[in-house]
C-alpha cells in the first residue's frame, strides 16, 4: 500500500513537468503573429508581429496620442532564436541599442521574457486569453508596471486576426 502511495505521489509531482511544453523554437510562439490594438481615452497602442524565418519574427509597436493627434512613441521588435535560446529584442528611440530580454518561461499560451539588468521594464509577459486576444504585463521592481489588453485587429469579413 505504501508503495502505491509513493508511486501516486511521484506521478503527481512528475506528470506536470512531463506535460509542460517549453518553447524550444520561435515557431512555438506563432500565436503572437498578427496585428493587435488597444485603446484608452488617451492613447491607441498597436503591436504587430510576422514570422520572417524559422528562427525569427519581426514586430513593431506604436503609441498614438488621441489628444496630440500623433504617434508619440514607436519601437521595432524582434524575436530571435540563437544558440538554443529565444530572445525578445526591443529598439526604442530612448536607447541607442536594442534591449534584449531572454525567454525564461513559456507554455502554449504564455511567454515571459526577462532582463534583470535593464532599468525598466525588467519583465515582459505575453498571455493569450481565452477569447483569442493578448494581454501584455510590463513590470519592473517593487510592483512598478502596467498591463495592456490587446484585441486582434479583425478582418471585417472573416473575423480572424490579420497576418
Q: How far is CA 84 from CA 55, 87, 116, in A?
A: 10, 10, 20
Residue 140 pLDDT greater than 60, yes or no? yes
Q: Is residue 10 part of a domain?
A: no
- Domain that residue 133 falls in: 22-152
Total domain count for the chain? 1
* CA 64/CA 14 separation, integer angstroms: 47
d(CA 25, CA 81): 7
Residue 159 counted as domain residue: no
pLDDT computed for residue 23 by the predictor: 85
List the one residue out of 91, 141, 92 whose CA is nearest residue 119. Answer: 141
pLDDT reported for residue 154: 58
User: Residue holding cell 525578445?
Assistant: 88
- pLDDT tens track for 9-26: 444 444 444 444 468 899
Q: Which residues pair with 10 in a beta bridge?
A: none
Domain with residue 42: its CATH number is: 2.40.128.20
Amino acid at each position: 500500500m505504501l508503495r502505491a502511495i509513493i508511486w501516486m505521489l511521484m506521478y503527481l509531482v512528475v506528470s506536470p513537468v512531463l506535460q509542460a511544453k517549453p518553447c524550444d523554437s520561435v515557431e512555438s510562439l506563432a500565436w503572437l503573429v498578427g496585428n493587435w490594438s488597444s485603446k484608452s481615452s488617451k492613447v491607441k497602442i498597436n503591436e504587430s508581429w510576422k514570422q520572417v524565418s524559422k528562427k525569427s519574427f519581426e514586430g513593431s509597436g506604436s503609441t498614438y496620442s488621441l489628444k496630440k493627434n500623433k504617434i508619440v512613441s514607436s519601437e521595432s521588435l524582434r524575436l530571435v532564436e540563437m544558440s538554443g535560446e529565444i530572445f525578445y529584442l526591443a529598439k526604442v528611440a530612448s536607447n541607442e541599442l536594442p534591449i534584449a530580454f531572454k525567454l525564461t518561461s513559456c507554455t502554449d499560451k504564455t511567454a515571459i521574457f526577462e532582463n534583470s539588468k535593464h532599468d525598466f521594464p525588467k519583465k515582459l509577459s505575453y498571455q493569450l486569453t481565452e477569447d483569442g486576444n493578448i494581454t501584455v504585463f510590463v513590470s519592473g521592481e517593487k510592483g512598478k508596471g502596467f498591463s495592456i489588453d490587446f484585441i486582434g485587429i479583425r478582418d471585417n469579413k472573416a473575423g480572424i486576426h490579420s497576418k
